Structure 1
């Protein structure tokens, strides 16, 4: 189950999954996009595992989409469709995993990164971290799962506010709104997330796992209603002039930096 893009380590009955693209703030390049659903699926065969902690290497949890893929997705319909299929599989694997997943949000969780956080079962977030889903600001429909998960946590009106603007949600606000459970100092993040995961791991496994499954019926129901439409609409975004202008705008902005 080892994978360079996702590191898997064991802490007794707890499995720690670390998104391992620190140089790009754990943005989802092709390898990471394929690796995470594969690793999640592999956990279904791990009879000794009882809980999971999901975190990111380096300064970020995940910066979401990889800018390097923007032009390819605009010009290669088959690659775009394949990526969106994998995105659907990633969401389904995370929501459908029988083990409880504790997110340890060690830094920014943006776009797909924020969607992953909101699909976990318990969220610890470092004081300096934030969540944001800026799909709309780069001319994309927020279709990769946020439209399913955010309204379940914060209300439909607040979900609209953040998904239509891409505004950041600081850690304390995330807890206040219901997007995270606890804010902790950065140095305490992993110890506290691991301690909670071990607490879950010590409980009767069938009771924990099937309670998660029952609760996640709400998420599955939302996903059935909106995720297919959302991904189709996000795919269509790649054909707009506004989206096609994004890579050049980012390059121009980078060139202006000292």
Structure 2
């Protein structure tokens, strides 16, 4: 895709090849439509082939980073195999395209992040979060297995005990706790967040590029070894979308009520 083809991402190329990418659907807390899901997968292929870009900073417009999939669209996929398979393929592409891109990615997590948004935020090579931003992998709250990225990445970041605590409960994690447990690279006050990310991106962009890129490539072999875990989790999530728990979870969320999952009755 060309930059002009993206509907929900905006671009600002700074000095030294630093590209600021902004997820731009602020009226919906940057919730990912089907189109935006695809754009979050495709953008890494676009910047890979842009010689002007050395490093990327990604953030969200308004008060959120990206709260995950737009559930008004997700509920339409329940029980339909083709849309669920397509959704899973995009989930894999988002993570794998980021991992396979040698150019460093820095996320500036300015507000709430979940689902696909959290996958982008935490698959970034360096993640900087606002101290009062809150994140969660809330898959179990809507009746589906934790797909996207978390069962692959979180154990490498913060260990199995914390991963199990937060993925099985879907509890919210603020920026300070995310930094404390090692889920993110660093935590900053919101007014300093974007400047800190851009300054760091500029520092890395002024280093020898082949050395930087090959260092990232080697480090990401740790993630590539865990790839079967991601594939399995995405497959299980897709299967769960065929079950009644997922319908109850999504309907309860949209109706702003507590779910009554059939499997717990």
Task: Show CA shifts across 1:189-210 (max 9, x none).
Answer: 1111000000000000000000
Identify the residue that residue 23 of structure 2 maps to in structure 1.
19
* Contact 1:52/1:99, CA 8 A, preserved across alignment: yes
Distance 2:158 2:254 in 1: 35
Distance 1:115 1:231 in 2: 12
Secondary structure of the equivalent of 2:256?
A: helix
Aligned residue among 58, 65, 69 for 1:65: 69
Identify the residue that residue 222 of structure 1 maps to in structure 2.
226
- Tell which deviates more after alignment, 208-217 or 61-70: 61-70
Aligned residue among 239, 242, 246 for 2:245: 242
Instruction: Give TM-score scaled by structure 1 length.
Output: 0.94
Aligned residue among 138, 151, 175 for 2:155: 151
- Tell which deviates more after alignment, 167-176 or 196-205: 167-176
Identify the residue that residue 92 of structure 2 maps to in structure 1.
88
Distance 1:217 1:40 in 2: 18
* Contact 2:142/2:250, CA 8 A, preserved across alignment: no
Identify the residue that residue 195 of structure 1 maps to in structure 2.
199
Task: Show CA shifts across 1:33-85 (max 9, x none).
Answer: 11122221011111121110011111111101221123222132111111111
| Map 1:92-131 → 2, pairs under 5 A | 92-131=96-135
Q: CA deviation at 1:251?
A: 3.9
Identify the residue that residue 183 of structure 2 maps to in structure 1.
179
2:72 paired with 1:54: no
* Contact 1:14/1:49, CA 8 A, preserved across alignment: yes
Distance 2:64 2:127 in 1: 15
Q: After TM superposition, which residue ranges in structure 1, 4 or more long, deviate above 4 angstroms?
A: none
* Contact 2:105/2:126, CA 8 A, preserved across alignment: yes
2:235 paired with 1:232: yes
Name stretches of at least 5 consecutive residues in structure 1 with no aligned partner: none
Secondary structure of the equivalent of 1:75?
A: coil
* Contact 1:115/1:149, CA 8 A, preserved across alignment: no
| Map 1:72-83 → 2, pairs under 5 A | 72-83=76-87
Q: CA deviation at 1:186?
A: 1.1
Identify the residue that residue 261 of structure 2 maps to in structure 1.
none
Distance 1:123 1:227 in 2: 20
Secondary structure of the equivalent of 2:129?
A: strand
Secondary structure of the equivalent of 2:107?
A: strand
Q: CA deviation at 1:235?
A: 0.5
